[in-house]
Structures are given as C-alpha cells and as structure tokens.
Amino acid sequence: MNGRHDGRVAVVTGGANGIDQELRRRIAEQLDARFKGDLIGPDHAEYGDRSVVWNAMVERRPGLILRCTSTEDVAAAVTVARANGLSPSVRCGGHGVWGAALSDGGLTIDLSGMRTVTVDTENQLVHADGGCLLGDLDQATAPHGLIVPAGIMSETGVGGLSLGGGIGWFSRKHGLTCDQFVSLQVVLASGEVIEASATRHPELFWALRGGGGNFGVVTRFTLRAHRFGPMMRIGVALHLPEDAAQALREYAAIVPTLPRTVGWHAALKDTMPALPFVPPELVGRRVLMLVAMWLDDAEDPAGAELIERLNAVGRPATKAMTVMPFAARVQRLLDEEFADGHRYYTKEAHVSELADEAIDILVAFWKDMPMGGEVEIIGLGGAITDVDEDATAFSNRDYLLWLNFAMSWDDPANDQDYLDRTRTVVGDLRPWTGRGIYVNMLNFDEMDRVVEAFGGPEKYARLGRVKAQYDPDNFFRMNNNITPVP
Ligand SMILES: Cc1cc2nc3c(=O)[nH]c(=O)nc-3n(C[C@H](O)[C@H](O)[C@H](O)COP(=O)(O)OP(=O)(O)OC[C@H]3O[C@@H](n4cnc5c(N)ncnc54)[C@H](O)[C@@H]3O)c2cc1C
C-alpha cells in the first residue's frame, strides 16, 4: 500500500494483487456451497456500487469482492484468499480516509451483508455484526433508552471506527468505543474463529482495542451500552468570521473547566447548511459553529443552564437550544455534509495548547480557504483519560482538544493545491500540536507516522508480537500496518 501523486491527482494504490477472469472462476469453484454471500466481479450489476468508497480520491478497483453474510462466509473468504496467495482488504462502512477497504485489483472482503444488531437490555449489552454502521447501532439501542458511545454521524462503520478507537459525542462521559468492548468474535488469518475478551486471548483483546484491522476480521462485536435518551439537549451558536477568533479564545479558556456531562465542539465551516435553527441570512455563509451537547438527562435544569451559558460565549450572530432525539436527528445532522463521492482530504492533530497565535492561524486559513469542508475542534478528555495508556492498544489518550481538517471539493484539478494548502497550515500549527495522531485518521501521506499513532516503538513492538502470534505472515496488511515481530 502506498500513496503517490499521478500528475495532479492523488491516487491511492494497492499494489500487485491481481485477480483475472481465470482466478475469479477458480475462486468461485473453490468457495462452492460453503459461501452463501455474493461474488461480485467487474461484470456484476452491483460492482459499481461496491467498488467505490466515501472518498472519491480513492481510485481502486478490486478484482473480486466477496460480500459476506455470516461468520462462516468470512471464514470461507479468508481460507480461499490464503489458498490463492491473496492478501484481502476488509470493508465495513467504507469511511477509511485513504480507501484501505478496497483492494486494487485483488480481493475485498465486504461485510455489508452482516448488519444485524441485537440488544440485551437486561445486561446492557449490544451484539453488532461486523458490517454494522453506527446508524444501525443507534437505531437498535434508542428504543431501549440506551446508547453505545461511537462517532458523530450515522454512516461510519462500527468495524473500522471501533477497532481504531472510536471518538464521538459521548466520549467525554463514557470513553472510546473500544473501551466498551466486552468480547469480539474474530476470524483469524488461519480461518479459525475465536472469541477474544479480557479472559480469552487477553493479549489479542488488548491489541484489538485500538490496533485496527491488523489481527483478523471481527464478525461480531459485543459492546457495553449506557442509559441515555432517547432525547438530547443540544445548543448551537453561530459566529461571523470577524467574531470567530474571540469566540475561540473564550472556548479554549472554558473547555478545561467543563464537567464531563457536556461535550463542546467547534467547526469553522465554509458554508452553513440550512439546518432547522439557522436563520435564512446565515444559510450558505462562512461561520464558526459552536455546538454544546448535554450528555445526561435532557430535562436536567443544570444542563439547560450550562448550555445557555456556553451558547452565549463571544458575540454569536444567532444561537439556539433545543431537545431532539439523538439517534433519529442529532446523529444524522452531519450525514449530508460528508456524503460519499466527493474528493476529501483530512488531517488530524492532537492539540497540546490552543494558544492565541494558533487560533489566529486557524482562523486566517479558514477565512481564505477556497475548498469546502470544515476545520473541527473536538472537545474530548473526560472518560477517555480514565483508561491507562498501557491498558489498550489505543494511544495518546490525554489530549483535551483534537483538531481535524475535513476538506472537500469535486474538481480533480484542485487536488494538488488543496492538499498543499492543508499540509501547510497543519505544518504552521506544529508548535501547538502534540505527540501522536489518531490511527483512524492517518492519511495516505502519513504512513511514516504509524508507529507514533500506535503510541511509539515500545507499544508498536508489543503489537508486533501479538501480530506474530495471530497473523505471522501479515496476511491482513491492507491497513495502517503492524508488522509481525517474532
Ligand atoms: C465522514 C467520516 C466521519 C468520521 N467520523 C468519525 C468519528 O466520529 N469518530 C471516529 O473515531 N472516527 C471517525 N472517522 C474515522 C473513522 O473511524 C475511520 O475512517 C474508520 O476507519 C472508518 O471505518 P469504516 O468501517 O467506515 O471504514 P472501512 O474503510 O470500511 O474500514 C477501514 C478499515 O478498518 C478495518 N475494518 C473495518 N471493519 C473491520 C472488521 N469488522 N474487522 C476487521 N477489520 C475491520 C479494515 O482494516 C479496513 O480497511 C470518520 C471518517 C469519516 C470519513
């Protein structure tokens, strides 16, 4: 796997792993009746749909997609891949930023046929198949007044998000998605199916909490759920460009003082969409949006009071507070803005200090940026930091603010310019950004930061030893890779 620039276009390629007509035929024969899912080759009616992902910058065309419907299908797919010397990619929600979900010419194991969620209300446990999207989880848990802490929109895959960590609206109160793992059913590179938990394969269980798709295909997640909702109290304040820097200064000063029952986040948006609380004169405008979410009982007066106070920070052009269903509304607010099929480039950085100078750099970049998208400042900390750095593979837990540049456009002619601009501003912010990077946001041009993302050489070596035990040949290598250490 590598990233290269093809003229002006950033292309992510998968290397030589080719499947031709003859090999497709042979695989179909070998899979035989064991495999109940679909074999999707270039001639299949659904090939077009299943060979694209969220980011249109990714141009990869698998030689064969095996869309699985069960753990047995996944085991058969792994076995047939091995038999033919193919190293498969694994696809869940397709939101991986550089397109690791798709093999370029080779085999893709597609989990989109495995999206069942069952809720054990008595024990507050949720069982989710390996191909579930976050929206599947929310839809199943909401009727029971439960949530599983996950991401910020409904279409991201539970698989990729949780195995790399999983940050989102509820992280401050309950921690990462991988912190909720109780046990995981995994198809190993050998084709064997095992269950990993704190007591069964504990070192693998440690590695799966943040180590990504390196150790096998997870076909069922058992996750802890928490009482919430279904309603959420949420406050939104919009600030015009001339007021943005002052609002962010106040934001930076207040965030460290907040209780973990609130999440407070900022987005420097190129265009404000027509959301329900936005007055017509601000629709389509460049604004800073501050969003405050009360992570406890929506009717608690303490929540209303705090959200009111946060909404009033700076000189908002408009502000609103409302109570809305979390699963059906809040978790879907951003789906449209980050829809599949546009060209995207993202960069994540942990913020060690949101100093005035850093705010000025951010605001200056945002005011002039010619591309679409937003610069997000995500308020984390809280329960994420309750878990020791060594307790899971997930690393660099102790940052209160995370910065995410989520840039989008459609014309390939702009690729190089927009990539360069984003890289430059992230470079300019270096004095204020910290160690580490979120493994789930590592982009194609950041593969030299994989060790850092996994917490540094010592932790990476421990992960390498787990890899050697469960995947000694590095069969699962289309990912942010951990190489086996004997
Ligand atoms: C629009 C958007 C919003 C995002 N929001 C958030 C957010 O709120 N919080 C957050 O933490 N991250 C977020 N991310 C980052 C996200 O966590 C990663 O991109 C993640 O890899 C996406 O997972 P996926 O299953 O959708 O992607 P895919 O591209 O399908 O999978 C990515 C990789 O994960 C591995 N994988 C996936 N499923 C399995 C499985 N069942 N077993 C084994 N390996 C598997 C494979 O290695 C695969 O290549 C977001 C990304 C995007 C593009």
Q: Which residue has the tokens 């920070």?
A: 313
Give mean pLDDT, residues 82-92.
Answer: 97
Pairing verdict, β 107-110 and 89-91: parallel
Quote the CA–CA distance of 346 and 348 in Å, as a whole number. 7
Alpha-helix runs per DSSP H in 293-390 = 301-311, 356-368
Supply the DSSP symbol for 438. Answer: -
Question: In the predicted model, is pLDDT for residue 4 greater than 80?
Answer: no
In 50-150 the beta strands, taken as DSSP E runs, fall at 64-67, 89-91, 107-110, 117-120, 125-129, 146-147
Residue nearest atom 6 of ligand 1, based on CA coordinates = 151
Query: What's the one-letter identity of residue 7?
Result: G
Ligand 1, atom 17, residue with closest C-alpha: 161
Digit-coded pLDDT (tens) for 149-181: 999 999 999 999 999 999 999 999 999 999 999
Q: What is the pTM of this model?
A: 0.95
461 CB-near residues (< 8 Å, 6+ apart): 485
Q: pLDDT for 119-129, tens place per residue?
A: 999 999 999 99
Q: What's residue 12's pLDDT?
A: 41
For ligand 1, pick from 97, 110, 380, 440 the residue to mutate: most ligand atoms within 8 Å of CB.
Answer: 440
Asked whether the predicted pLDDT for residue 11 surpasses 90, the reply is no
Question: What is d(CA 476, CA 472) in angstroms, rounded to the nearest whole number?
Answer: 10
Q: Is the pLDDT of residue 5 over 70?
A: no
Residue type, 238: L
> 172 in helix, strand or coil?
helix
Spatial separation of the C-alpha atoms in residues 143 and 231, rounded to whole Å: 11
Q: Counting runs of H as helices and runs of E as strands, what totals does the chain give?
A: 13, 20
Per-residue confidence band for 33, with pLDDT thresholds at 50, 70 and 90: confident
352 by Cβ neighbours in 10 Å (0-12 / 13-18 / 19+) ranks as middle
Q: CA-to-CA distance for 453 and 461, rounded, in angstroms? A: 13
pLDDT, tens digit (0-9, with 9 covering 90-100), for 399-457:
999 999 999 999 999 999 999 999 999 999 999 999 999 999 999 999 999 999 999 99
The angle formed by the CA atoms of residues 447, 8 and 285, to the nearest 5 degrees, is 90
Q: Quick one: pLDDT at residue 17? A: 60
Q: Which residues contact 54 (CB under 8 A, 6 or more apart)?
A: 94, 95, 96, 338, 340, 341, 344
| Burial of 416 (C-beta count, 10 Å sphere; 0-12/13-18/19+) | middle
Q: Is 338 in the pocket of ligand 1 (CB under 6 A)?
A: yes
From atom 36 of ligand 1, which residue's Cα is the shortest distance away?
160
Residue 380 has pLDDT above 50, yes or no: yes
The reply to whether ligand 1 has any atom less than 6 angstroms from the CB of 114 is: no
- Above 80 in pLDDT, residue 387? yes
Tell me which residue has its CA closest to atom 8 in ligand 1: 151
